[in-house]
Structure 1
Amino acid sequence: MKLLIHGRNLDVTPAIREYTETKLGRAITHFEGMVKEADVHLSVARNPRVPQQTVEVTVYANGTVIRAQEHSDNLYASIDLAANKLHRQLNRYHDRLKDHHHSPGHRATPTPGTEQVVDEQVVEGALTDGKEPQLPNRGVRRKYFAMPAMALDDAVLQLELIDHDFYVFRDADSGQIQVVYRRNHGGFGLIQTRES
């Protein structure tokens, strides 16, 4: 498994690197066949009055992104918390795959390969022809990503794995963009478009 460790507002010492590798190695040890790469971001708050030390781990398992983020007053404690959370999420993902494969009459949909997602059309000319460079609005961060169609159950699983409040996906049946979100009082909600 490829493990990348980055530090923000701190130097990643050999001791921190070794501790992180050991803890994440234990968390991932049963899933080494699935996990190909892990990206770890260690950060310390700049304000000395806010003793917040954050660990964010992103794991790529069979084309699925699994993310765990934890913070505390101590970097080593944050690493422990993130490793435990990652282990639980990998267990949930593994169990879901196992249940998905063994349920009668149901097959898991494989993650499409790059050649299926990439459009085969040839681009004529440069993509920047006729466009002036512009900075985005202050405070707006743009992200672009491929959005293969998936069922609502798969979107809920992705939401649980990435540890966010919402997940945007393309519905496999209708082809529409939808948002599944975590409700404050438990459970999930779905935002769909409606024709006016």
Structure 2
Amino acid sequence: MKLVIQGKNIEITDSIREYVNQKIEKAVNHFQNMTTEVDVHLSVARNPRINTKQTAEVTIYANKTVIRAQESSEDLYASIDLVADKIQRQLRKYKEKQQKKTQTQPKTGAVIHEAPVVEDLIGDRTPELPTEVVRMKYFAMPPMTIEEATEQLQLVDHDFYMFRNAKTDEINVIYERNHGGYGVIQPRNGNGHTNHTNGKTAQNVEAVTDTSTVS
């Protein structure tokens, strides 16, 4: 298992490196057979008006799946403890789902409610981009279904997840809706429609009967 430790606004001392190794190795001890690489990113956000925020982020690459967890506190070692516990729970959850898939036949009764996306998402606001790109990430995008993308969203600990739709071969974004359920953003062509035959630009995944794939 490859372990990479990086820091931002912080020096990765030998004691910090040893502590990270100890905690992460313990967290993935029972999952090393499916773990190929673990990336740990430690950072300190200094703001004179608030207490120093120290963040530990762990990204695990397991069987072509990305599992991510992040925790912050006023103490770096406490953040490492919290994120190690969280990533262990994420790995256990992922392993249980994989075992369930191999033990039972997957169900196909997923109920997907579709709704058009709002035409004007920003209203009278002026779109603004950050003055500089502070971080870039690169991920493989194998084709997957919406149900599989929902699983990935739950594993990466983000509000959204970008994926290549296996049905349309287009880049889609699935996200958590404020009022529950999930939404899917799809690109549309020059006719104002998606290349999908339903002509919609978004989908709300609100009810799923396949408990073996989405929880």
TM-score (norm 2): 0.69
Unaligned runs of 5+ in 1: 107-135
Q: How does 1:136-175 map to 2 (within 5 A)?
A: 138-139=131-132, 145-175=139-169
Give the 3 Å change call, closer, same or farther, for CA 174–89 of structure 1 in structure 2.
same
Q: Which residue identity lines up with residue 104 of structure 1 in the other structure?
A: Q
Q: Which has the higher strand share?
A: 2
Secondary structure of the residue aligned to 2:33 is: coil
Cα displacement (A) at 1:59: 0.9
Secondary structure of the residue aligned to 1:33 is: helix
Cα displacement (A) at 1:22: 1.1
Runs of 4+ in 1 over 6 A off after TM superposition: none
Unaligned runs of 5+ in 2: 108-128, 188-192, 200-215
Give the 3 Å change call, closer, same or farther, for CA 142–67 of structure 1 in structure 2.
closer
Match of 1:189 in 2: 183
Give the 3 Å change call, closer, same or farther, for CA 29–39 of structure 1 in structure 2.
same
**Percent identity over paired residues:** 53
Give the 3 Å change call, closer, same or farther, for CA 143–10 of structure 1 in structure 2.
closer
**Alignment coverage as a number of residue pairs:** 167
The RMSD of aligned alpha carbons is 2.4
Structure with the bigger RCO (C-alpha within 8 Å, sep 6+) is 2
Cα displacement (A) at 1:144: 5.7
Match of 1:99 in 2: 100
Give the 3 Å change call, closer, same or farther, for CA 190–28 of structure 1 in structure 2.
same
Match of 2:51 in 1: 50
Distance 1:170 1:86 in 2: 25
Distance 1:144 1:9 in 2: 22
Distance 1:22 1:144 in 2: 27
After superposition, what is the alpha-carbon deviation per residue over 1:56-114, rounded to whole angstroms, capped at 9, x for unaligned? 111111121111111101111100111011011111111111122222267xxxxxxxx
Distance 1:46 1:138 in 2: 19
Q: How does 1:60-99 map to 2 (within 5 A)?
A: 60-99=61-100
Cα displacement (A) at 1:192: 3.2
Give the 3 Å change call, closer, same or farther, for CA 164–36 of structure 1 in structure 2.
same
For structure 1, which segment, 153-162 or 186-195, has the greater mean C-alpha deviation from structure 2 after superposition? Answer: 186-195
